[in-house]
Amino acid sequence: MSETVGTLHTKIRVAVLGATGAVGRELIKLLANRKFPVADLKLLASPRSAGITIPFVGEKLLVEAVGDDSFQDIDLVLASAGSSTTKAWADKAIGAGAVIIDNSSAFRMNPSVPLIVPEINPSAAKHHRGIIANPNCTTILMAMVVWPLHRVQSVKRIVVATYQSASGAGARAMEEVKTQARAILQDQPPPTEIFPYPLAFNLFPHNSPLNEQGYAEEEMKMINETRKIFNAPDLRLSATCVRVPVLRAHSEAVNLEFANPFAVSSAREILSQAPGVKLVEDWQINYFPMPIDATGRDEVLVGRIRQDISHPCGLELWLCGDQIRKGAALNAVQIAELLVRENLLGVPNTANKK
């Protein structure tokens, strides 16, 4: 790997695994826009995507089919290709000396793998063994807003309902919603290839597998990942995740319970200064965060902060965030920037022990 790591002036050899997907393409844009110190960029995907070109700082880079030798001379792998793909190639990448920042759920709950939101638990990166996990999109967006309040007074219980856009299922899902909308407006049956049911002009509970308690896998991700990121294994949390006919950016209604009353004015002040968060409230015209405003933005928008009238120690709030940016690609690039700043690239001898 590069010999001098520790500032963003260091040049890093980067591979993007899953480069042709929605998150992969966003990763490539962010590397350029944030001026990440890329010495060389390798774009990797499945064989069916090989040969596609993607622009990067004035060049058109060719997408290669991932293979046994893809990670030689690579310092950093940004993976956005799904759990099975990351698992299939993790040993090769780490064995070649690369550090993986993985956007899938493959390693998130592995006790030896840090699960990081840089604004919340950056010090966890010091303990990586070659893999760092990027949390689920809904988890990241909620954690960004809840953490600043939790630091002031510990949250006892969280009840959240999510309103998740098509972008969470990838670029093909976004196109399917557009196709469905056109079909419905022409009185034609909407096609359902990515989603199990029509999403245009409709909504349905998240279609991930259900456990014996009736909770979807997506809901359990929010519960378990939040506990790990906050280092609060006993935090009480319940989630209901819903797919809604929005192309990009997720929304969440969050109810927080504290041990003591938490003044709304204090919560607003704290969140107005929280890194990566933007307070959006205009009570006169009933204007609060909307996914259309969050799309393409780095910040998580929060507003409609109010006292829970059913509980003296409760707060209600509403948030929106771009699932592809802070909910996925941006968080991964921020982790990469953290690794460079803190001289944490490179794989310890204990790497690859899962």
DSSP characters for 192-244? -SSSSS--TT--EE--SPB-TTS-BHHHHHHHHHHHHHHT-TT-EEEEEEEE-
Phi and psi dihedrals of 31, rounded to 5? Answer: -55, -40
Would you state the CATH architecture of domain 138-323? Answer: 2-Layer Sandwich (3.30)
What pLDDT score was predicted for residue 353? Answer: 41
DSSP string, 28-88: HHHHHHTT--EEEEEEEE-GGGTT-EEEETTEEEEEEE--TTTTTT-SEEEE-S-HHHHHH
Q: Give the whole-angstrom CA distance, residue 135 versus residue 150.
A: 18
Q: What pLDDT tens digit does each residue of the chain (354 aa) get? A: 333 344 555 789 999 999 999 999 999 999 999 999 999 999 999 999 999 999 999 999 999 999 999 999 999 999 998 899 999 999 999 999 999 999 999 999 999 999 999 999 999 999 999 999 999 999 999 999 999 999 999 999 999 999 999 999 988 999 999 999 999 999 999 999 999 999 999 999 999 999 999 999 999 999 999 999 999 999 999 999 999 999 999 999 999 999 999 999 999 999 999 999 999 999 999 999 999 999 999 999 999 999 999 999 999 999 999 999 999 999 999 999 999 999 999 766 544 444
CATH number of 12-135+329-341: 3.40.50.720
Which residues are catalytically annotated?
137, 250
Residues 128 and 116: their CA atoms lie apart, in Å, by: 11
Amino acid 6: pLDDT: 46
Q: Are strands 12-17 and 38-45 parallel, antiparallel or unpaired?
A: parallel
**Domain residue ranges in the chain:** 12-135+329-341, 138-323
Give the chain's length.
354
User: What is the DSSP-derived secondary structure letter of residue 126?
Assistant: G
Residue 348, classed as helix, strand or coil, is: coil
The reported pLDDT for the residue numbered 3 is: 38
Angle at 159 between CA 155 and CA 160, to 5 degrees: 115
Confidence (pLDDT) at 138: 97
Contacts of 273 (CB under 8 A, 6+ apart): none
What per-residue confidence (pLDDT) applies to 351?
42
Looking at residue 350, its pLDDT comes to 45
C-alpha 95/C-alpha 100 separation (Å) is 11
Token look-up 């480069």 returns 19
Tokens 């293979």 correspond to 67
User: Cα–Cα distance between 180 and 346 in angstroms, integer?
Assistant: 46
Q: State the pLDDT at residue 346.
A: 79
Other Cβ atoms less than 10 A from the Cβ of 39: the count is 12
Give me the amino acid identity at 45. Answer: A
3-class state of residue 103 by DSSP: coil
pLDDT of residue 82: 86
313 vs 329: CA distance, rounded Å: 35
